[in-house]
Amino acid sequence: MHGSRLRVAYQGVPGAYSEAAAGKAYPNCEAIPCDQFEVAFQAVELWIADRAVLPVENSLGGSIHRNYDLLLRHRLHIVGEVQMPVHHCLLALPGVRKEYLTRVMSHPQALAQCELTLTRLGLNVTREAFDDTAGAAEHVANNGLRDTAAIASARAAELYGLQVLADGIQDDSSNVTRFVMLAREPIIPRTDRPFKTSIVFAHDREGTSVLFKVLSAFAFRDISLTKIESRPHRHRPIRLVDDANVGTAKHFEYMFYVDFEASMADTRAQNALAEIQEFTSFLRVLGSYPMDMTPWGAPSSSASSSTNPPPPPPSSSAPPSS
């Protein structure tokens, strides 16, 4: 990058958890806020940003399905991952007391992650969904909403001049979000440290036998899977099966996303994908990248306090083909 700082796109506004994840993944980067997930993808594709850091799953809320769909639609490569503990705070304008609140706004997942605690606090408030947590805090501050609180990070409170009415209001302290780092070019996979590989595949045969064969290809080689996610097939969502005797049946068609603990430099992974390719109609490697080995309890509330080294520099060489 000719000595300049990496430009890293994220979805949200300053103070968002994604901004903190970008700082953990790439310390001292120039974080570029984007109003939508797809804009972050486009920022990298159009060379406005060098990387994107986007959430793919949360330990309480599950998968962020939109980003799985965008991974398939765009041609960016996963070059790393980072896990961030999520620490929610109840924020309001200075001088506002909890009993004056009639509304709480935040991202839908944040609202769901704090539902029990809000009830325990005795708050009789309506919940209102917002695009992101820090955006909700910014909205409360900019519009002087004295009857409304936001659920966001302590950093968002500092940025937008809000007070923290309650700290750590997530229902479960083990609230972790996994982010992936995206780049225009893949990195060269290695075997000198733990790697993870993400793939997506589809099949055009009936029944569950193909999925069983895919899982068997990994199990036979003692490769651990860390995630399986199914999404409707975008180009062929419905399959019709006609039977002259009983009529027509409609079945959903799916794409399957799989993460497994092996590098594409490992012959076990190469052989597994070669076998899988024989009975799938579509197979794509989304990335082979270093695993985030940082303990979930490690401090990471500040974007500048990273102990997780960035992944190896990008290379124009693609991972070895299966």
CATH code for position 71: 3.40.190.10
Q: Are residues 97 and 55 in the same domain?
A: no
Give domain status of residue 322, yes or no.
no
Q: Is residue 312 part of a domain?
A: no
CA atoms within 13 A on the CB side of 81: 23
Edge-to-edge strand order for the sheet containing 282-290?
225-232, 254-260, 195-202, 282-290
Is residue 217 domain-shared with residue 246, that is, in the same domain? yes
pLDDT at 206: 58
Q: Are residues 32 and 113 in the same domain?
A: no
Query: pTM value?
Result: 0.83
Total domains in the fold of the chain: 3
> In this structure, what CATH number is given to the domain that contains residue 227?
3.30.70.260
Residue 295 lies in a domain: no
Domain containing residue 54: 7-85+176-183
The answer to whether position 317 is within a domain reads: no
Q: What is the token pair recorded at 271?
A: 């052989």
> What positions carry a catalytic annotation?
177, 179
Q: Does residue 274 belong to any structural domain of this protein?
A: yes
Q: Are residue 199 and residue 284 in the same domain, yes or no?
A: yes
CA distances from 215 to 267, 280, 291 (A): 17, 12, 21
Query: Do 105 and 74 sit in the same domain of this protein?
Result: no
CA distance 76 to 72: 9
Is residue 154 located within the same domain as residue 233? Answer: no
- The string of DSSP codes covering 82-118 is EEEE---EEEE-TT--GGG--EEEE-HHHHHHTHHHH
- Please give the pLDDT value at position 244: 54
Structural tokens at position 243: 């039977």
Residues 60 and 34 in one domain: yes
Query: Would you say residue 51 lies in a domain?
Result: yes
Pair 77, 95 in one domain: no
Structure tokens at 42: 């486009």
- Give pLDDT < 50 ranges for the chain: 1-3, 237-242, 247-250, 298-322
Sequence-distant (6+) residues with CB within 8 A of 48 are 7, 9, 32, 42
Asked if residue 78 lies in contact with residue 314, where contact means CB atoms within 8 angstroms, the answer is no
Residue among 146, 151, 130, 25 nearest 81 (CA): 25
Q: What are the pLDDT digits (tens) for 233-263? A: 665 544 444 455 554 444 557 889 999 999 9
User: Any bridge partners for residue 96, and if so which?
Assistant: none
Given this model, what pLDDT does residue 314 score?
Answer: 41
Residues 208 and 286 in one domain: yes
Contacts of 237 (CB under 8 A, 6+ apart): 252, 253
Question: Which residues have a Cβ under 8 Å from the Cβ of 166 and sit 6 or more positions away?
Answer: 89, 90, 98, 117, 121
Query: Is 240 part of a structural domain of the chain?
Result: yes
Same-domain status, 81 and 93: no
Residue 270 resides in a domain: yes
pLDDT of residue 236: 53
Instruction: Quote the distance between the C-alpha of residue 47 and its chain's center.
Output: 21
Rounded CA separation 202/210 (Å): 9
Q: Are residues 98 and 159 in the same domain?
A: yes
The strand pair at 254-260 and 225-232 is best described as antiparallel
Confidence (pLDDT) at 38: 96
Same domain, 81 and 111: no
Q: How far is CA 160 from the centre of its chain?
A: 25
